[in-house]
Amino acid sequence: QRGGKFPKIPVVRVRPNDKDAKMKYQECNKIVKQKAFERAIASDELKRSVVDSLDIENMTIEDDYAGPKLEDGNVTLKFMKDLMAWFKDQNKLHRKCAYQTEEITICGDTHGQYYDLLNIFELNGLPSITNPYLFNGDFVDRGSFSVEVILTLFGFKLLYPEHFHLLRGNHETDNMNQMYGFEGEVKAKYTAQMFQLFSEVFQWLPLTQCINNKVLVMHGGLFSEDGVTLDDIRKIDRNRQPPDSGPMCDLLWSDPQPQDGRSISKRGVSCQFGPDVTERFLEQNKLQYIVRSHEVKAEGYEVTHSGKCITVFSAPNYCDQMGNKGAYIHLRGSDLKPEFHQFTAVVSANSALRKAYIRSLNSYGLKRMISAR
């Protein structure tokens, strides 16, 4: 006895050769570890972000508040100047402005439609630290101004590396660029070496983007098999041309379908996945919904799988003949509820300039490239 207490000595130490004591000790040890594991899981499940408990949208700013206010939820230079002056006079910023988060704009396929890209920036504002963008692949091919689109997007990526994001699409690949025009366009405007450089850069583009641990964005869609986790996605070797099957291929090529299960893709590669596949993936990875692109939609976007699979497409009047609208999405607030914004094609600019551009390309003997579009 030490200090009025008996020391805790396992029976197996006192009777090391007692098989029954040893077996019971092992069983007891398993139970203790299991209980500890269950407590750890329970504590993780209870750890919710403070953001989840906020109802920012329903917070009201009182009429007598005279301080700085966000402009459509965004921090601007004027807001920051007003804020510094407001703090200098020892005033308090309204709690709604203190809580409120900036939004991000997600755009889908642009496919070389440069004047429609400019229209997006006209409607939604230029990219900036306070106006971040995510472009979800297929920047090039089919449209006549793919070089202009991709150089503009790369420029903004260099200008705002933490607030301007580009994901790889199935058209940021060599075989698609050979068939649908980008390689020929680059060679006509620059050199074959320039195309090789684009090809190398495309291989480093990320395949997915996870926003606030709630929304996963990819160009194509989900997987041909269940069980893929976010850690599995992070481990994909993306610095290559995509294989004909597997998770990398699926992220670039798959499409949703209305019925449960999976089916053979109409594209001849990857698969089509149903609402049950989406539900299982989201549940396993603790996500709310996915955003993808890859398919032209009449309204520019489509919400399927009970709101858990969203498609956004940002090339209006696709290929100068589909007549579809384009769209982009705003995600803001604690719940990241999507807000859809539609727009129509810049018809006069695209059509007239495209015709002039085709005439110039024909002088390079690139009629085959145009017909493939």
Q: For residue 241, is pLDDT > 90?
A: yes
H helical segments located in 214-331? 230-234, 247-253, 275-285
Within this chain, do residues 309 and 358 fall inside the same structural domain, yes or no? yes
Verify that 261 and 179 share a domain, yes or no: yes
Q: Has residue 62 been placed in a domain?
A: no
- Which among 152, 109, 111, 106 has a CA at the least distance from the CA of 132? 106
Instruction: Give the residue numbers spanning the domain of 323.
Output: 77-363
Task: Check whether residue 95 and residue 158 sit in a common domain.
Answer: yes
Domain harbouring 97, CATH code: 3.60.21.10
Residue-averaged pLDDT of the chain = 84
32 and 180 together in one domain: no
Assess whether 26 and 135 both reside in one domain: no
Q: Give the residue, 337 or 311, on which the prediction is more confident.
A: 311
Indicate the SS3 state at residue 285.
helix
Radius of gyration of the chain (CA): 27
Q: Is 171 a catalytic residue?
A: yes
> Rounded distance, CA 72 to CA 341, Å?
14
Longest dimension (CA), the chain: 100
The pLDDT confidence band at residue 266, using thresholds 50, 70 and 90, is very high
Does 159 lie in the same domain as 23? no
The catalytic position among 163, 171, 305, 330 is 171
Instruction: Identify the CA nearest to 173 among candidates 201, 208, 142, 135.
Output: 201
Residue 315 and residue 224 in one domain: yes
Same domain for 236 and 331, yes or no, is: yes
32 pLDDT higher than 80: no
Average pLDDT estimate for 325-339: 90
Neighbouring residues of 144: CB distance < 8 A, sequence distance ≥ 6? 112, 185, 353, 354, 357, 358, 373
pLDDT digits (tens, 9 = 90+) for 48-84: 555 555 566 677 888 888 888 877 666 677 877 887 7
How many domains does the structure of the chain reveal?
Answer: 2
Q: What is the pTM of this model?
A: 0.73
Domain assignment present for 187: yes
Question: Tokens for 302?
Answer: 């489509």
Identify whether residues 29 and 139 lie together within a single domain.
Answer: no
